[in-house]
């Protein structure tokens, strides 16, 4: 009989023998691998923390104590041990469990968290809050109080916010445990001096040489007198593994380890002793990312967060082979090839990413142009600052970053790029709704953020050819900050071969020339759809499906700043209703920019209808399901087009003769 399906509470672990826990660890690994092979998800990070998670729940009671994750994508074993095994089959969908901690699912999850570096600071806050409330663990006066544990891994420790958290953790006068899951990897290979320190530590003889008495060491630790005074609370194993030269000592944190993160007896022994220690401590645990399967251990970057995949045995051998699913060419792959071509043509182009070389496609140019491309590690703020410095030196920097992670560098986009007039170029992957990663990763506010910056130029690509011409435009745009956004999706071939005109600042591209009101021979449409990004492809498909019922003009808007004021004026002056469509929040997005432009032109804005992501949190599901849920699928777009047309009819604008008026209207606006 399998153990995992019987686990409804982590309290059950405490009645098991080590041998049973090890069997459970194997079942957890197989269950996670089997499900991720069907749905996609974060595989290697979770495989690496199975024993560590079991040991944490064996020693602590996180129904009472506090457990905070950093980063959140290593939480699958935790979820399976806290009664959510029945939700595993619906992983990354609204019918199952999120791939990140989710308080809406369980009281064992304290924060919805998908970004890096936040866990220590949040844990410090909870530690201070419990102390103020009189609920903190204090050995003498409150032995049943709450303990606090922050589990940090996948190179999050190098993040600047993590450093700030460490700086404050060292000032706590109470129990506080930071468990460092050191797997020698981040999402990809960690970068920077701190990562190199851990690499040296992993390879040194210190791992075995540390097993010696702690009496002489304690007096050298910052706050050593306090630690020495409290050392009787430490077990002998913990004393013998105090790391005298640990980097964390400089933050006033007693550091223990490194210890074997896959040995349950070792983990339970050290965590049991750490549980009773009443000072801030770091327990350094070494794990193997992707543990348990050769394919994920040997290629943990690919299997960090793979799509669905098939496992099968190579014929005539016992080797496990893996084939990743593919739905077609992605925007990320298109960006990678376009950047390689751009860097080949222009020696002034440089590029960087923040720990996402594979996820953003930068790995291709990183290999091809190692002197002009950098992976800075998990530090978006530093990356953008660094590229601003390169722009100051006359280079053309491109920053490849997920839209959701751009938020972490908005201050630098403001202060070091836009304010200085420095042309840093932002390539925003995963813009819009991202599917299974859910609310923690949606890129729904990049336009709203960046549109506030004077002089910024904001673009969206609808397909691969338009992405290429957008990047070429950005390479020559020297007036200030620029950005192009594109989704986690496959590229459309709808307009491949049709010829893609270059980007012209603030000018939309008409995809239905017969309804181009800015031409002398143009015929005004019944409804004009201004679509920002890939939804222009959906709008064209919808217009074709509507057929002769309505004359639907479709424009690839291209720019959210500056918007095409000539086009907006030409349409509204003759009473053509405008439907704006965007895979972005309706608050502050492209549609808002169109409204503002119309108001600035002194035109009636009642004919402008906006369609985008509403003011709600959109949770995990396939991207297609999410788009349908907010009305951005073909059916939703058609519904909005017909509503816009009906609104026009009610307003009487349909009585106007709209044929052939484009040139006159555009001249008046201009």
List active site positions. Answer: 289, 380, 408
Residue of 241, 217, 236, 240 whose CA lies nearest to 228 = 217
R_g (Cα) of the chain, nearest Å? 28
Residues for the chain: how many in total? 670
Q: Count the alpha carbons within 13 Å of 518 in the hemisphere toward its beta carbon.
A: 21
> Residue 549 CB: number of other CB atoms within 10 A?
12
Task: Supply 461's token pair.
Answer: 């690509």
Cβ atoms 479, 421 nearer than 8 A: yes
Q: How far is CA 138 from CA 172, 329, 466, in A?
A: 13, 57, 61
Cα–Cα distance, 285 to 261 (Å, whole number):
5
Cβ atoms 236, 242 nearer than 8 A: no
Residue burial 112-138, b: 16+ Cβ < 10 Å; e: rest: bbbbbbbbbbbbbebbbebbeeeebbb
Cα–Cα distance, 557 to 553 (Å, whole number):
12
**Contacting residues for 254 by C-beta, under 8 A, at least 6 apart:** 221, 227, 242, 277, 279, 280, 281, 282
Cβ atoms 379, 156 nearer than 8 A: no
Sheet holding 457-460, edge to edge: 373-375, 349-353, 396-402, 425-429, 482-485, 457-460, 559-561
Containing 31, the helix (H) or strand (E) segment is: helix 18-39
Residue with tokens 């030409």: 570
Residue with tokens 């606090």: 148
Containing 321, the helix (H) or strand (E) segment is: strand 320-324
**Contacting residues for 326 by C-beta, under 8 A, at least 6 apart:** 307
**Contacting residues for 280 by C-beta, under 8 A, at least 6 apart:** 169, 170, 172, 174, 175, 176, 177, 178, 252, 253, 254
Q: How far is CA 573 from CA 252, 605, 645, in A?
A: 68, 10, 16
Beta strand pairing call for 578-585 and 608-613: parallel
**Contacting residues for 466 by C-beta, under 8 A, at least 6 apart:** 500, 556, 558
């Amino acid at each position: 009989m399998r153990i995992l399906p019987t686990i409804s509470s982590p309290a059950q672990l405490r009645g098991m023998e080590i041998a049973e826990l090890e069997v459970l660890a194997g079942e957890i690994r197989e269950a996670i691998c089997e499900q991720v092979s069907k749905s996609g998800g974060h595989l290697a990070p979770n495989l690496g923390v199975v024993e560590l998670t079991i040991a944490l729940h064996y020693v602590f009671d996180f129904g009472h104590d506090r457990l905070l994750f950093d980063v959140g994508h290593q939480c699958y074993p935790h979820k399976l041990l806290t009664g959510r095994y029945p939700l595993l089959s619906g992983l990354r969908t609204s019918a199952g469990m999120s791939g990140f901690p989710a308080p809406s699912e369980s009281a064992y999850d304290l924060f919805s968290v998908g970004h890096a570096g936040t866990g220590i600071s949040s844990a410090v806050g909870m530690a201070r809050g419990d102390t103020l409330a009189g609920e903190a663990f204090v050995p003498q006066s409150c032995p049943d109080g709450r303990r606090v544990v922050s589990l940090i891994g996948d190179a999050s420790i190098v993040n600047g916010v993590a450093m700030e958290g460490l700086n404050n953790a060292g000032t706590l006068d109470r129990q506080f445990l930071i468990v460092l899951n050191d797997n020698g990897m981040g999402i990809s290979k960690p970068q920077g001096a701190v990562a190199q320190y851990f690499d040296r530590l992993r390879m040194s003889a210190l791992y075995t040489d540390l097993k010696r008495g702690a009496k002489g060491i304690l007096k050298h630790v910052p706050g050593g007198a306090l630690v020495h005074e409290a050392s009787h609370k430490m077990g002998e194993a913990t004393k013998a593994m105090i790391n005298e030269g640990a980097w964390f000592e400089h933050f006033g944190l007693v550091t223990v380890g490194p210890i074997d993160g896959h040995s349950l007896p070792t983990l339970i022994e050290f965590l049991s002793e750490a549980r009773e220690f009443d000072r801030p401590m770091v327990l350094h645990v070494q794990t193997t990312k992707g543990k348990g399967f050769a394919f994920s251990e040997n290629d943990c970057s690919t299997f960090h967060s793979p799509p669905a995949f098939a496992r099968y045995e190579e014929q005539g051998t016992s080797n496990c082979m893996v084939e990743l699913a593919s739905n077609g060419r992605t925007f990320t792959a298109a960006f990678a090839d376009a950047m390689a071509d751009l860097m080949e043509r222009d020696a002034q182009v440089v590029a960087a990413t923040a720990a996402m070389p594979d996820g953003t496609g930068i790995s291709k140019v990183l290999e091809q142009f190692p002197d002009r491309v950098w992976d800075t590690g998990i530090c978006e703020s530093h990356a953008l600052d660094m590229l601003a410095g390169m722009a100051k030196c006359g280079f053309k920097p491109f920053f490849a970053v997920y839209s959701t992670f751009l938020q972490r560098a908005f201050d630098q986009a403001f202060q070091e790029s836009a304010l200085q007039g420095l042309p840093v170029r932002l390539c925003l992957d995963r813009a819009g709704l991202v599917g299974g990663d859910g609310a923690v990763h949606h890129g729904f506010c990049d336009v709203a953020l960046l549109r506030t910056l004077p002089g910024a130029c904001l673009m969206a690509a609808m397909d691969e050819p338009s992405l290429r011409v957008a990047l070429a435009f950005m390479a020559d745009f020297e007036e200030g900050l620029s950005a192009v956004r594109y989704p986690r999706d496959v590229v459309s071939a709808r307009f491949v071969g049709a010829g893609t005109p270059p980007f012209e600042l603030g000018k939309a591209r008409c995809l239905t020339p017969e309804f181009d009101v800015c031409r002398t021979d143009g015929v005004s449409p019944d409804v004009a759809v201004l679509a920002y990004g890939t939804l222009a492809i959906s709008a064209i498909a919808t217009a074709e499906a509507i057929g002769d019922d309505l004359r639907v003009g479709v424009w690839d808007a291209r720019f959210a700043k500056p918007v095409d004021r000539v086009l907006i004026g030409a349409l509204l002056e003759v009473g053509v209703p405008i439907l704006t469509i965007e895979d972005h929040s309706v608050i502050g997005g492209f549609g808002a920019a169109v409204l503002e432009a119309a108001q600035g032109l002194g035109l009636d804005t009642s004919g402008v209808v906006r369609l985008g992501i509403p003011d709600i949190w959109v949770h995990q599901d396939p991207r297609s399901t999410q788009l349908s849920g907010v009305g951005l699928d073909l059916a939703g777009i058609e519904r909005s087009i017909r509503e816009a047309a009906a609104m026009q009819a009610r307003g009487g604008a349909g009585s106007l003769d709209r044929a052939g008026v484009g040139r006159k209207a555009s001249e008046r606006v201009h």
